Structure 1
Amino acid sequence: MRIGIDLGGTKIEAIALDSTGHERARKRIPSPRSYDATIAAIRDLVAALETETGEQGTVGIGMPGAVSPATGLVKNANSTWLIGHPFGRDLEAALGRAVRLANDADCFALSEATDGAAAGAKTVFGVILGTGVGGGIVVNGALLSGPNAIAGEWGHNPLPWALPDEYPGTDCYCGKKGCIETWVSGPAFARLYAEENAEALSPEAIVAAAEAGNRPARLALRRYADRLARALAHVIDILDPHAIVLGGGMSNVAALYDEVPSRWGSYVFSDTVATPLLRHKHGDSSGVRGAAWLWPEN
Protein backbone atom coordinates (compact mmCIF):
# COMPACT_ATOMS: atom_id res chain seq x y z
CA MET A 1 0.00 0.00 0.00
CA ARG A 2 1.14 3.54 -0.77
CA ILE A 3 0.17 6.56 1.31
CA GLY A 4 0.35 10.03 -0.19
CA ILE A 5 0.14 13.31 1.72
CA ASP A 6 -0.59 16.62 -0.01
CA LEU A 7 0.54 19.40 2.32
CA GLY A 8 -1.16 22.64 1.31
CA GLY A 9 -1.42 26.05 2.87
CA THR A 10 -5.06 25.56 3.87
CA LYS A 11 -5.53 21.78 4.02
CA ILE A 12 -3.65 18.52 4.34
CA GLU A 13 -5.05 15.63 2.31
CA ALA A 14 -4.01 12.01 2.70
CA ILE A 15 -4.77 9.03 0.49
CA ALA A 16 -4.04 5.31 0.54
CA LEU A 17 -3.65 3.56 -2.82
CA ASP A 18 -3.28 -0.11 -3.61
CA SER A 19 -0.71 -1.39 -6.12
CA THR A 20 -3.03 -0.65 -9.08
CA GLY A 21 -3.75 2.94 -8.01
CA HIS A 22 -7.18 2.18 -6.59
CA GLU A 23 -8.14 4.41 -3.67
CA ARG A 24 -8.59 2.55 -0.40
CA ALA A 25 -9.02 5.46 2.02
CA ARG A 26 -8.84 9.24 2.13
CA LYS A 27 -8.68 11.89 4.88
CA ARG A 28 -8.56 15.70 4.85
CA ILE A 29 -7.91 18.19 7.67
CA PRO A 30 -7.19 21.93 7.91
CA SER A 31 -3.48 22.75 7.79
CA PRO A 32 -1.92 23.73 11.12
CA ARG A 33 0.04 26.97 11.11
CA SER A 34 3.10 25.78 13.00
CA TYR A 35 5.91 23.35 12.29
CA ASP A 36 5.46 20.97 15.23
CA ALA A 37 1.70 20.81 14.68
CA THR A 38 2.27 19.96 11.01
CA ILE A 39 4.52 17.03 11.92
CA ALA A 40 1.94 15.77 14.42
CA ALA A 41 -0.94 16.16 11.94
CA ILE A 42 0.83 14.11 9.27
CA ARG A 43 1.72 11.43 11.81
CA ASP A 44 -1.91 11.19 12.91
CA LEU A 45 -3.23 11.09 9.33
CA VAL A 46 -0.93 8.21 8.43
CA ALA A 47 -2.02 6.35 11.57
CA ALA A 48 -5.69 6.91 10.74
CA LEU A 49 -5.31 5.56 7.18
CA GLU A 50 -3.42 2.52 8.39
CA THR A 51 -6.03 1.82 11.04
CA GLU A 52 -8.82 2.08 8.47
CA THR A 53 -7.11 -0.18 5.93
CA GLY A 54 -5.45 -2.54 8.40
CA GLU A 55 -2.18 -2.29 6.51
CA GLN A 56 1.06 -0.31 6.77
CA GLY A 57 2.15 1.69 3.75
CA THR A 58 5.02 3.62 2.27
CA VAL A 59 4.69 7.40 2.75
CA GLY A 60 5.26 10.12 0.17
CA ILE A 61 4.78 13.82 0.85
CA GLY A 62 3.96 16.55 -1.64
CA MET A 63 4.96 19.88 -0.13
CA PRO A 64 5.34 23.55 -1.01
CA GLY A 65 8.93 24.46 -1.71
CA ALA A 66 11.75 21.93 -1.65
CA VAL A 67 14.38 20.37 0.55
CA SER A 68 17.80 21.89 -0.09
CA PRO A 69 20.34 19.23 -1.14
CA ALA A 70 23.04 21.34 0.50
CA THR A 71 21.50 21.56 3.97
CA GLY A 72 18.61 19.11 4.16
CA LEU A 73 16.40 22.01 5.26
CA VAL A 74 13.21 23.30 3.62
CA LYS A 75 13.55 26.26 1.22
CA ASN A 76 11.25 28.22 -1.10
CA ALA A 77 8.05 27.28 0.76
CA ASN A 78 5.10 29.66 0.89
CA SER A 79 4.09 27.77 4.05
CA THR A 80 6.82 29.75 5.75
CA TRP A 81 6.73 27.82 9.05
CA LEU A 82 8.46 24.93 7.23
CA ILE A 83 11.44 26.98 6.06
CA GLY A 84 14.75 26.16 7.69
CA HIS A 85 13.59 22.91 9.29
CA PRO A 86 14.80 19.32 8.63
CA PHE A 87 11.29 18.33 7.56
CA GLY A 88 12.19 14.95 6.09
CA ARG A 89 14.26 13.83 9.06
CA ASP A 90 11.63 14.94 11.57
CA LEU A 91 8.86 13.14 9.67
CA GLU A 92 10.89 9.95 9.54
CA ALA A 93 11.43 10.14 13.27
CA ALA A 94 7.73 10.72 13.91
CA LEU A 95 6.61 7.91 11.58
CA GLY A 96 9.39 5.43 12.28
CA ARG A 97 10.09 4.78 8.60
CA ALA A 98 11.65 6.28 5.48
CA VAL A 99 9.70 9.10 3.84
CA ARG A 100 10.00 10.55 0.33
CA LEU A 101 9.31 14.23 -0.29
CA ALA A 102 8.80 16.23 -3.46
CA ASN A 103 7.52 19.62 -4.50
CA ASP A 104 3.74 19.70 -4.95
CA ALA A 105 4.06 20.52 -8.68
CA ASP A 106 6.39 17.54 -9.08
CA CYS A 107 3.73 15.36 -7.49
CA PHE A 108 1.11 16.69 -9.90
CA ALA A 109 3.38 15.87 -12.85
CA LEU A 110 4.14 12.37 -11.53
CA SER A 111 0.45 11.61 -10.99
CA GLU A 112 -0.57 12.65 -14.49
CA ALA A 113 2.39 10.81 -16.04
CA THR A 114 1.72 7.60 -14.07
CA ASP A 115 -1.99 7.00 -14.62
CA GLY A 116 -3.37 10.37 -15.65
CA ALA A 117 -3.75 12.40 -18.82
CA ALA A 118 -0.16 11.75 -19.96
CA ALA A 119 0.11 8.08 -18.98
CA GLY A 120 2.59 6.35 -21.26
CA ALA A 121 4.33 9.52 -22.46
CA LYS A 122 8.14 9.28 -22.27
CA THR A 123 8.65 12.85 -21.05
CA VAL A 124 5.98 14.96 -19.35
CA PHE A 125 6.00 18.58 -18.25
CA GLY A 126 3.33 19.08 -15.60
CA VAL A 127 2.20 22.67 -15.12
CA ILE A 128 0.45 24.27 -12.16
CA LEU A 129 -1.44 27.45 -13.06
CA GLY A 130 -2.95 28.44 -9.72
CA THR A 131 -2.18 30.98 -7.03
CA GLY A 132 1.41 30.43 -8.13
CA VAL A 133 2.99 28.89 -11.20
CA GLY A 134 5.00 25.71 -10.85
CA GLY A 135 6.11 22.74 -12.87
CA GLY A 136 7.51 19.24 -12.69
CA ILE A 137 9.31 17.00 -15.17
CA VAL A 138 8.84 13.23 -15.46
CA VAL A 139 11.13 11.13 -17.66
CA ASN A 140 10.32 7.46 -18.26
CA GLY A 141 8.03 7.44 -15.27
CA ALA A 142 10.46 9.02 -12.80
CA LEU A 143 10.73 12.56 -11.54
CA LEU A 144 13.67 14.55 -12.84
CA SER A 145 15.65 16.12 -10.02
CA GLY A 146 18.90 18.03 -10.25
CA PRO A 147 21.59 19.18 -7.83
CA ASN A 148 19.63 22.29 -6.83
CA ALA A 149 16.20 20.60 -6.41
CA ILE A 150 14.53 23.16 -8.71
CA ALA A 151 13.79 21.16 -11.89
CA GLY A 152 10.65 22.50 -13.53
CA GLU A 153 10.61 25.88 -11.76
CA TRP A 154 9.74 27.70 -14.97
CA GLY A 155 7.50 30.21 -13.14
CA HIS A 156 10.51 32.20 -11.97
CA ASN A 157 12.05 32.71 -15.39
CA PRO A 158 11.21 35.94 -17.22
CA LEU A 159 8.30 36.01 -19.66
CA PRO A 160 9.86 35.23 -23.07
CA TRP A 161 9.63 37.62 -26.01
CA ALA A 162 8.28 40.40 -23.80
CA LEU A 163 6.43 43.17 -25.62
CA PRO A 164 7.36 46.81 -24.97
CA ASP A 165 4.36 47.33 -22.67
CA GLU A 166 5.28 44.17 -20.72
CA TYR A 167 8.80 45.19 -19.82
CA PRO A 168 10.18 45.19 -17.14
CA GLY A 169 7.08 43.69 -15.54
CA THR A 170 5.62 43.50 -12.07
CA ASP A 171 7.61 42.79 -8.91
CA CYS A 172 7.63 39.10 -7.98
CA TYR A 173 7.86 37.85 -4.40
CA CYS A 174 11.12 36.12 -5.36
CA GLY A 175 12.76 39.55 -5.64
CA LYS A 176 12.83 39.83 -9.43
CA LYS A 177 10.55 41.51 -11.96
CA GLY A 178 8.52 40.10 -14.80
CA CYS A 179 8.57 36.42 -13.78
CA ILE A 180 6.21 34.15 -15.68
CA GLU A 181 4.25 33.71 -12.44
CA THR A 182 3.41 37.43 -12.43
CA TRP A 183 1.77 37.03 -15.86
CA VAL A 184 -0.02 33.67 -15.97
CA SER A 185 -1.03 32.78 -12.40
CA GLY A 186 -4.72 33.10 -11.54
CA PRO A 187 -4.21 36.24 -9.41
CA ALA A 188 -2.05 37.77 -12.17
CA PHE A 189 -4.82 37.22 -14.73
CA ALA A 190 -7.30 39.01 -12.46
CA ARG A 191 -4.84 41.81 -11.62
CA LEU A 192 -4.01 42.53 -15.24
CA TYR A 193 -7.70 42.63 -16.18
CA ALA A 194 -8.42 45.08 -13.36
CA GLU A 195 -5.49 47.30 -14.40
CA GLU A 196 -6.66 47.41 -18.02
CA ASN A 197 -10.39 47.76 -17.38
CA ALA A 198 -10.73 49.43 -13.95
CA GLU A 199 -12.97 46.57 -12.87
CA ALA A 200 -12.10 43.91 -10.32
CA LEU A 201 -13.33 40.44 -11.29
CA SER A 202 -12.27 36.94 -10.30
CA PRO A 203 -10.56 34.79 -12.95
CA GLU A 204 -13.71 32.69 -13.17
CA ALA A 205 -15.87 35.78 -13.76
CA ILE A 206 -13.52 37.07 -16.47
CA VAL A 207 -13.64 33.73 -18.29
CA ALA A 208 -17.45 33.60 -18.01
CA ALA A 209 -17.67 37.14 -19.43
CA ALA A 210 -15.37 36.18 -22.30
CA GLU A 211 -17.51 33.14 -23.08
CA ALA A 212 -20.57 35.43 -23.08
CA GLY A 213 -18.94 37.65 -25.70
CA ASN A 214 -17.71 40.53 -23.53
CA ARG A 215 -15.01 42.23 -25.63
CA PRO A 216 -12.59 43.36 -22.84
CA ALA A 217 -12.78 39.91 -21.25
CA ARG A 218 -12.20 38.18 -24.58
CA LEU A 219 -9.19 40.41 -25.21
CA ALA A 220 -7.81 39.66 -21.73
CA LEU A 221 -8.18 35.92 -22.32
CA ARG A 222 -6.44 36.16 -25.71
CA ARG A 223 -3.55 38.04 -24.13
CA TYR A 224 -3.33 35.43 -21.39
CA ALA A 225 -3.25 32.63 -23.97
CA ASP A 226 -0.48 34.35 -25.91
CA ARG A 227 1.62 34.84 -22.78
CA LEU A 228 1.12 31.23 -21.78
CA ALA A 229 2.03 30.12 -25.31
CA ARG A 230 5.28 32.10 -25.14
CA ALA A 231 6.12 30.72 -21.72
CA LEU A 232 5.48 27.11 -22.77
CA ALA A 233 7.29 27.57 -26.10
CA HIS A 234 10.42 28.26 -24.10
CA VAL A 235 9.94 24.94 -22.29
CA ILE A 236 9.36 23.09 -25.56
CA ASP A 237 12.55 24.56 -27.03
CA ILE A 238 14.56 23.28 -24.05
CA LEU A 239 12.86 20.02 -23.06
CA ASP A 240 10.73 19.03 -26.10
CA PRO A 241 8.36 17.01 -23.89
CA HIS A 242 6.10 14.33 -25.31
CA ALA A 243 3.18 15.90 -23.41
CA ILE A 244 2.36 19.01 -21.39
CA VAL A 245 -0.40 18.68 -18.78
CA LEU A 246 -2.09 21.66 -17.16
CA GLY A 247 -3.35 21.75 -13.57
CA GLY A 248 -4.45 24.46 -11.13
CA GLY A 249 -7.41 26.79 -11.39
CA MET A 250 -6.55 28.29 -14.79
CA SER A 251 -6.30 24.80 -16.29
CA ASN A 252 -10.10 24.68 -16.20
CA VAL A 253 -10.34 27.34 -18.95
CA ALA A 254 -11.39 25.18 -21.90
CA ALA A 255 -10.38 27.74 -24.52
CA LEU A 256 -6.69 27.42 -23.61
CA TYR A 257 -6.39 23.94 -25.10
CA ASP A 258 -7.06 25.36 -28.58
CA GLU A 259 -5.76 28.91 -28.17
CA VAL A 260 -2.32 28.10 -26.75
CA PRO A 261 -1.27 25.42 -29.28
CA SER A 262 -2.54 27.63 -32.11
CA ARG A 263 -0.12 30.33 -30.94
CA TRP A 264 3.00 28.57 -29.72
CA GLY A 265 4.08 27.56 -33.21
CA SER A 266 5.08 31.19 -33.80
CA TYR A 267 7.64 30.92 -30.99
CA VAL A 268 8.92 27.33 -30.97
CA PHE A 269 12.16 26.76 -32.92
CA SER A 270 10.68 24.12 -35.22
CA ASP A 271 8.75 23.85 -38.48
CA THR A 272 5.98 21.95 -36.68
CA VAL A 273 4.92 21.51 -33.04
CA ALA A 274 3.41 18.11 -32.32
CA THR A 275 3.37 18.53 -28.53
CA PRO A 276 -0.09 17.78 -27.07
CA LEU A 277 -1.46 20.20 -24.45
CA LEU A 278 -3.60 18.14 -22.08
CA ARG A 279 -6.03 18.84 -19.30
CA HIS A 280 -5.41 16.96 -16.06
CA LYS A 281 -7.27 13.70 -15.45
CA HIS A 282 -7.18 13.59 -11.65
CA GLY A 283 -7.87 17.27 -10.93
CA ASP A 284 -7.41 18.30 -7.32
CA SER A 285 -6.46 14.71 -6.47
CA SER A 286 -3.36 14.70 -8.65
CA GLY A 287 -1.06 16.13 -5.98
CA VAL A 288 -1.94 13.61 -3.31
CA ARG A 289 -1.89 10.69 -5.78
CA GLY A 290 1.50 11.80 -7.06
CA ALA A 291 2.85 11.87 -3.52
CA ALA A 292 1.82 8.23 -3.13
CA TRP A 293 3.53 7.35 -6.42
CA LEU A 294 6.84 8.71 -5.11
CA TRP A 295 7.35 5.07 -4.13
CA PRO A 296 7.38 3.13 -7.41
CA GLU A 297 6.53 -0.54 -7.72
CA ASN A 298 10.15 -1.59 -7.34
Structure 2
Amino acid sequence: MIRIGIDLGGTKIEAAALDADGTFLARLRTPNPGDYDRAIREIRDLIARAEAEAGSVGTIGVGTPGSINPRDGRMRNANATFLNGRTFREDLAEALGRDVRMANDANCLALSEAVDGAAAGAHSAFAVIIGTGVGGGLVIDGRIVEGANGMGGEWGHVPLPWMTAGEFPGPACWCGHHGCLDMLVSGTGLQKDMTARSGQTLTGPEIIAAARAGEAHAVAAFDAYVDRLGRAMAMVVNIVDPDVFVLGGGMSNVTELYAALPAVIDRFSFGGSWSGQIVAARWGDSSGVRGAARLWNE
Protein backbone atom coordinates (compact mmCIF):
# COMPACT_ATOMS: atom_id res chain seq x y z
CA MET A 1 0.00 0.00 0.00
CA ILE A 2 1.17 3.50 -0.75
CA ARG A 3 1.36 6.27 1.84
CA ILE A 4 -0.31 9.65 1.30
CA GLY A 5 1.08 12.69 3.08
CA ILE A 6 -0.61 16.08 3.45
CA ASP A 7 1.30 19.20 4.45
CA LEU A 8 -1.10 21.94 5.52
CA GLY A 9 0.88 25.17 5.28
CA GLY A 10 -0.01 28.80 5.80
CA THR A 11 -0.39 29.52 2.09
CA LYS A 12 -0.64 26.12 0.42
CA ILE A 13 -1.76 22.54 0.92
CA GLU A 14 0.48 19.85 -0.53
CA ALA A 15 -0.28 16.18 -1.09
CA ALA A 16 2.20 13.47 -1.98
CA ALA A 17 1.99 9.74 -2.57
CA LEU A 18 5.04 7.66 -1.64
CA ASP A 19 5.78 4.03 -2.36
CA ALA A 20 7.39 1.71 0.19
CA ASP A 21 10.86 2.95 -0.78
CA GLY A 22 9.93 6.62 -0.37
CA THR A 23 9.76 7.40 -4.08
CA PHE A 24 7.26 10.08 -5.08
CA LEU A 25 4.40 8.60 -7.10
CA ALA A 26 2.41 11.82 -7.11
CA ARG A 27 2.84 15.34 -5.79
CA LEU A 28 0.17 18.04 -5.93
CA ARG A 29 -0.37 21.51 -4.45
CA THR A 30 -3.27 23.91 -4.09
CA PRO A 31 -3.64 27.24 -2.27
CA ASN A 32 -4.80 27.10 1.34
CA PRO A 33 -8.34 28.55 1.16
CA GLY A 34 -8.20 29.94 4.69
CA ASP A 35 -11.53 28.37 5.59
CA TYR A 36 -12.12 25.22 7.63
CA ASP A 37 -14.77 23.47 5.55
CA ARG A 38 -13.13 24.40 2.26
CA ALA A 39 -9.76 23.16 3.52
CA ILE A 40 -11.26 19.77 4.32
CA ARG A 41 -12.78 19.60 0.84
CA GLU A 42 -9.48 20.62 -0.78
CA ILE A 43 -7.59 17.93 1.16
CA ARG A 44 -10.18 15.30 0.23
CA ASP A 45 -9.87 16.25 -3.45
CA LEU A 46 -6.06 16.31 -3.35
CA ILE A 47 -5.99 12.83 -1.83
CA ALA A 48 -8.33 11.52 -4.51
CA ARG A 49 -6.17 13.02 -7.25
CA ALA A 50 -2.93 11.72 -5.69
CA GLU A 51 -4.33 8.20 -5.38
CA ALA A 52 -5.63 8.29 -8.95
CA GLU A 53 -2.21 9.37 -10.20
CA ALA A 54 -0.43 6.74 -8.09
CA GLY A 55 -2.91 4.04 -9.08
CA SER A 56 -3.54 2.84 -5.54
CA VAL A 57 -5.31 3.69 -2.28
CA GLY A 58 -3.04 4.75 0.58
CA THR A 59 -2.84 5.48 4.27
CA ILE A 60 -3.35 9.16 5.19
CA GLY A 61 -0.99 11.24 7.33
CA VAL A 62 -1.34 14.99 7.85
CA GLY A 63 1.17 17.55 9.06
CA THR A 64 -0.40 20.65 10.56
CA PRO A 65 0.65 23.87 12.22
CA GLY A 66 -0.09 23.79 15.94
CA SER A 67 -0.94 20.58 17.76
CA ILE A 68 -3.83 18.47 18.98
CA ASN A 69 -4.81 18.74 22.63
CA PRO A 70 -4.89 15.09 23.77
CA ARG A 71 -7.56 15.88 26.36
CA ASP A 72 -10.29 16.94 23.94
CA GLY A 73 -8.87 16.29 20.47
CA ARG A 74 -9.08 19.95 19.44
CA MET A 75 -6.44 21.89 17.54
CA ARG A 76 -4.52 24.66 19.30
CA ASN A 77 -1.77 27.18 18.60
CA ALA A 78 -2.07 26.90 14.81
CA ASN A 79 -1.12 29.98 12.81
CA ALA A 80 -3.78 28.79 10.35
CA THR A 81 -6.20 30.08 12.96
CA PHE A 82 -9.32 28.58 11.41
CA LEU A 83 -8.09 25.21 12.74
CA ASN A 84 -7.95 26.25 16.38
CA GLY A 85 -10.65 24.74 18.57
CA ARG A 86 -11.74 22.31 15.86
CA THR A 87 -11.62 18.51 15.95
CA PHE A 88 -9.71 18.51 12.69
CA ARG A 89 -8.47 14.92 12.70
CA GLU A 90 -11.94 13.50 13.40
CA ASP A 91 -13.67 15.80 10.91
CA LEU A 92 -11.20 14.96 8.16
CA ALA A 93 -11.47 11.24 8.89
CA GLU A 94 -15.25 11.49 8.62
CA ALA A 95 -14.99 13.33 5.30
CA LEU A 96 -12.61 10.69 3.94
CA GLY A 97 -14.30 7.66 5.47
CA ARG A 98 -11.02 6.28 6.84
CA ASP A 99 -8.45 6.73 9.57
CA VAL A 100 -6.13 9.72 9.60
CA ARG A 101 -2.90 10.18 11.52
CA MET A 102 -1.89 13.74 12.31
CA ALA A 103 1.14 15.50 13.81
CA ASN A 104 2.71 18.93 14.06
CA ASP A 105 4.52 19.96 10.88
CA ALA A 106 7.91 20.31 12.62
CA ASN A 107 7.51 16.80 14.03
CA CYS A 108 6.79 15.58 10.52
CA LEU A 109 10.00 17.16 9.24
CA ALA A 110 11.95 15.52 12.06
CA LEU A 111 10.41 12.12 11.29
CA SER A 112 11.09 12.43 7.58
CA GLU A 113 14.74 13.25 8.13
CA ALA A 114 15.15 10.49 10.73
CA VAL A 115 13.64 7.83 8.48
CA ASP A 116 15.53 8.43 5.24
CA GLY A 117 16.97 11.93 5.38
CA ALA A 118 19.93 13.72 6.88
CA ALA A 119 19.50 12.03 10.29
CA ALA A 120 18.89 8.49 9.03
CA GLY A 121 20.40 5.95 11.41
CA ALA A 122 20.70 8.37 14.33
CA HIS A 123 19.34 7.36 17.74
CA SER A 124 17.95 10.86 18.34
CA ALA A 125 17.35 13.83 16.09
CA PHE A 126 16.03 17.30 16.87
CA ALA A 127 14.58 19.32 14.02
CA VAL A 128 15.20 23.07 14.15
CA ILE A 129 12.77 24.93 11.92
CA ILE A 130 14.02 28.48 11.31
CA GLY A 131 11.84 30.21 8.76
CA THR A 132 9.20 32.90 9.13
CA GLY A 133 8.68 31.42 12.60
CA VAL A 134 10.46 28.83 14.73
CA GLY A 135 9.50 25.23 15.35
CA GLY A 136 11.06 22.08 16.69
CA GLY A 137 10.52 18.35 16.69
CA LEU A 138 12.17 15.43 18.47
CA VAL A 139 12.44 11.88 17.13
CA ILE A 140 14.03 9.04 19.08
CA ASP A 141 14.54 5.63 17.48
CA GLY A 142 12.27 6.59 14.60
CA ARG A 143 9.35 7.72 16.78
CA ILE A 144 8.08 11.24 17.38
CA VAL A 145 8.22 12.34 21.02
CA GLU A 146 5.04 14.37 21.50
CA GLY A 147 4.97 14.20 25.29
CA ALA A 148 2.17 13.58 27.78
CA ASN A 149 0.33 16.76 26.77
CA GLY A 150 1.21 16.88 23.09
CA MET A 151 3.66 19.75 23.65
CA GLY A 152 6.95 17.99 22.94
CA GLY A 153 9.24 19.96 20.66
CA GLU A 154 7.44 23.31 21.11
CA TRP A 155 10.85 24.92 21.09
CA GLY A 156 9.73 28.19 19.54
CA HIS A 157 7.86 29.24 22.66
CA VAL A 158 10.52 29.00 25.30
CA PRO A 159 12.49 32.15 26.11
CA LEU A 160 15.94 32.80 24.75
CA PRO A 161 18.33 31.32 27.33
CA TRP A 162 21.21 33.19 28.96
CA MET A 163 19.73 36.57 28.07
CA THR A 164 21.96 39.59 28.46
CA ALA A 165 20.74 42.73 30.20
CA GLY A 166 20.13 44.35 26.83
CA GLU A 167 18.02 41.42 25.63
CA PHE A 168 15.73 41.03 28.64
CA PRO A 169 12.73 40.70 28.66
CA GLY A 170 12.70 40.37 24.89
CA PRO A 171 10.01 41.27 22.35
CA ALA A 172 6.36 40.43 22.95
CA CYS A 173 5.32 37.19 21.27
CA TRP A 174 1.91 36.41 19.80
CA CYS A 175 1.61 33.59 22.38
CA GLY A 176 1.36 36.16 25.18
CA HIS A 177 4.88 35.86 26.59
CA HIS A 178 8.11 37.78 25.97
CA GLY A 179 11.46 36.74 24.57
CA CYS A 180 10.30 33.60 22.77
CA LEU A 181 12.66 32.02 20.27
CA ASP A 182 9.95 32.50 17.64
CA MET A 183 10.60 36.24 17.86
CA LEU A 184 14.40 36.07 17.99
CA VAL A 185 15.87 33.20 15.97
CA SER A 186 13.40 33.14 13.10
CA GLY A 187 14.14 34.79 9.79
CA THR A 188 11.64 37.42 10.90
CA GLY A 189 13.70 37.99 14.05
CA LEU A 190 16.82 38.57 11.96
CA GLN A 191 14.96 41.12 9.83
CA LYS A 192 13.69 43.01 12.87
CA ASP A 193 17.16 43.09 14.41
CA MET A 194 18.59 44.49 11.19
CA THR A 195 15.92 47.18 11.10
CA ALA A 196 16.59 48.12 14.73
CA ARG A 197 20.33 48.45 14.02
CA SER A 198 20.22 50.22 10.68
CA GLY A 199 16.71 51.54 10.03
CA GLN A 200 16.67 49.46 6.84
CA THR A 201 13.90 47.03 5.98
CA LEU A 202 15.57 44.13 4.18
CA THR A 203 14.62 40.54 3.45
CA GLY A 204 16.55 37.71 5.02
CA PRO A 205 18.48 36.92 1.82
CA GLU A 206 19.34 40.62 1.41
CA ILE A 207 20.72 40.74 4.96
CA ILE A 208 22.83 37.64 4.38
CA ALA A 209 24.14 39.08 1.10
CA ALA A 210 25.01 42.34 2.86
CA ALA A 211 26.78 40.47 5.67
CA ARG A 212 28.81 38.51 3.14
CA ALA A 213 29.78 41.81 1.53
CA GLY A 214 30.99 43.09 4.91
CA GLU A 215 28.27 45.69 5.61
CA ALA A 216 28.72 46.46 9.31
CA HIS A 217 25.06 46.45 10.42
CA ALA A 218 24.35 43.21 8.58
CA VAL A 219 27.47 41.54 10.03
CA ALA A 220 26.43 42.59 13.53
CA ALA A 221 22.85 41.36 13.03
CA PHE A 222 24.02 38.01 11.68
CA ASP A 223 26.59 37.54 14.45
CA ALA A 224 23.88 38.24 17.05
CA TYR A 225 21.58 35.79 15.28
CA VAL A 226 24.21 33.02 15.38
CA ASP A 227 24.86 33.67 19.07
CA ARG A 228 21.15 33.49 19.95
CA LEU A 229 20.49 30.41 17.84
CA GLY A 230 23.54 28.68 19.32
CA ARG A 231 22.36 29.43 22.86
CA ALA A 232 18.93 28.05 22.04
CA MET A 233 20.43 24.86 20.62
CA ALA A 234 22.72 24.50 23.65
CA MET A 235 19.62 24.49 25.83
CA VAL A 236 18.32 21.50 23.82
CA VAL A 237 21.70 19.81 24.27
CA ASN A 238 21.48 20.26 28.03
CA ILE A 239 18.05 18.62 28.10
CA VAL A 240 18.07 16.03 25.32
CA ASP A 241 21.61 16.00 23.82
CA PRO A 242 20.47 14.78 20.40
CA ASP A 243 22.86 12.97 18.10
CA VAL A 244 21.88 15.23 15.23
CA PHE A 245 20.33 18.65 14.77
CA VAL A 246 18.54 18.92 11.43
CA LEU A 247 17.97 22.47 10.21
CA GLY A 248 14.96 23.30 8.05
CA GLY A 249 13.22 26.48 6.91
CA GLY A 250 14.61 29.36 4.90
CA MET A 251 17.49 30.17 7.26
CA SER A 252 18.77 26.60 6.99
CA ASN A 253 20.07 27.55 3.53
CA VAL A 254 22.62 29.94 5.06
CA THR A 255 25.76 27.81 4.83
CA GLU A 256 27.72 29.93 7.30
CA LEU A 257 25.51 28.70 10.14
CA TYR A 258 26.93 25.19 10.04
CA ALA A 259 30.48 26.37 10.68
CA ALA A 260 29.59 29.08 13.20
CA LEU A 261 27.08 27.34 15.50
CA PRO A 262 29.23 24.57 17.05
CA ALA A 263 31.47 26.97 18.97
CA VAL A 264 28.47 28.73 20.49
CA ILE A 265 26.76 25.47 21.42
CA ASP A 266 29.98 24.20 22.98
CA ARG A 267 30.37 27.39 25.04
CA PHE A 268 26.89 27.15 26.56
CA SER A 269 26.41 23.39 26.83
CA PHE A 270 27.10 21.92 30.25
CA GLY A 271 30.69 20.73 30.44
CA GLY A 272 31.70 22.52 27.25
CA SER A 273 32.54 19.42 25.26
CA TRP A 274 29.73 19.20 22.73
CA SER A 275 30.55 17.38 19.50
CA GLY A 276 27.23 16.59 17.83
CA GLN A 277 26.19 17.06 14.23
CA ILE A 278 24.35 19.92 12.57
CA VAL A 279 23.03 19.10 9.10
CA ALA A 280 20.64 20.58 6.58
CA ALA A 281 17.39 18.74 5.90
CA ARG A 282 18.01 16.36 3.01
CA TRP A 283 14.49 16.73 1.67
CA GLY A 284 14.19 20.50 2.05
CA ASP A 285 10.64 21.74 1.70
CA SER A 286 9.55 18.18 0.88
CA SER A 287 10.36 16.96 4.39
CA GLY A 288 7.01 18.00 5.86
CA VAL A 289 4.85 16.12 3.40
CA ARG A 290 7.17 13.10 3.45
CA GLY A 291 7.08 13.01 7.22
CA ALA A 292 3.29 13.21 7.22
CA ALA A 293 3.19 10.14 4.97
CA ARG A 294 5.67 8.42 7.29
CA LEU A 295 3.32 8.78 10.29
CA TRP A 296 2.14 5.29 9.39
CA ASN A 297 5.70 3.97 9.85
CA GLU A 298 5.47 4.54 13.60
TM tier relative to shorter chain: over 0.9
Match of 2:25 in 1: 24
Distance 1:211 1:61 in 2: 39
Match of 2:122 in 1: 121
SS in 1 for 2:230: helix
Distance 1:5 1:80 in 2: 18
Distance 1:120 1:267 in 2: 27
Distance 1:270 1:120 in 2: 26
The one-letter amino acid of 1:116's match is G
Distance 1:89 1:220 in 2: 45
1:196 aligns with 2:190: no
Q: Deviations over 1:112-145 (max 9, x none)?
A: 1111111110000001101111100000011112
1:143 aligns with 2:158: no
Match of 1:239 in 2: 240
Name the % identity: 51
Distance 2:260 2:209 in 1: 16
SS in 2 for 1:72: coil
TM-score (norm 1): 0.98
SS in 2 for 1:278: strand
1:173 aligns with 2:155: no
The one-letter amino acid of 1:149's match is G
Distance 1:271 1:34 in 2: 49
Task: Show the 5 A alignment for 1:64-213.
Answer: 64-213=65-214
Once the two structures are TM-superposed, the CA of residue 51 in structure 1 deviates from its matched residue by 1.1
Once the two structures are TM-superposed, the CA of residue 181 in structure 1 deviates from its matched residue by 1.2
SS in 2 for 1:166: coil
TM-score (norm 2): 0.98
The one-letter amino acid of 1:216's match is H
Match of 2:280 in 1: 279
The one-letter amino acid of 1:144's match is V
Distance 1:276 1:88 in 2: 35
Distance 2:266 2:252 in 1: 20
Once the two structures are TM-superposed, the CA of residue 215 in structure 1 deviates from its matched residue by 1.9
Once the two structures are TM-superposed, the CA of residue 270 in structure 1 deviates from its matched residue by 2.2
Once the two structures are TM-superposed, the CA of residue 271 in structure 1 deviates from its matched residue by 3.9
The one-letter amino acid of 1:91's match is L
1:221 aligns with 2:222: yes
Once the two structures are TM-superposed, the CA of residue 218 in structure 1 deviates from its matched residue by 1.2
SS in 2 for 1:160: coil
The alignment yields a C-alpha RMSD, in angstroms, of 0.9
Q: Deviations over 1:17-40 (max 9, x none)?
A: 000101111100001111100111
Distance 1:126 1:286 in 2: 11
Give the stretch that moved more between structures: 274-283 or 211-220. Answer: 211-220
Match of 1:11 in 2: 12
Distance 1:237 1:138 in 2: 16
Distance 1:243 1:13 in 2: 27
SS in 2 for 1:161: coil
Q: Which runs of 5+ in 1 are unaligned?
A: none
Once the two structures are TM-superposed, the CA of residue 219 in structure 1 deviates from its matched residue by 1.5
Distance 1:209 1:77 in 2: 33
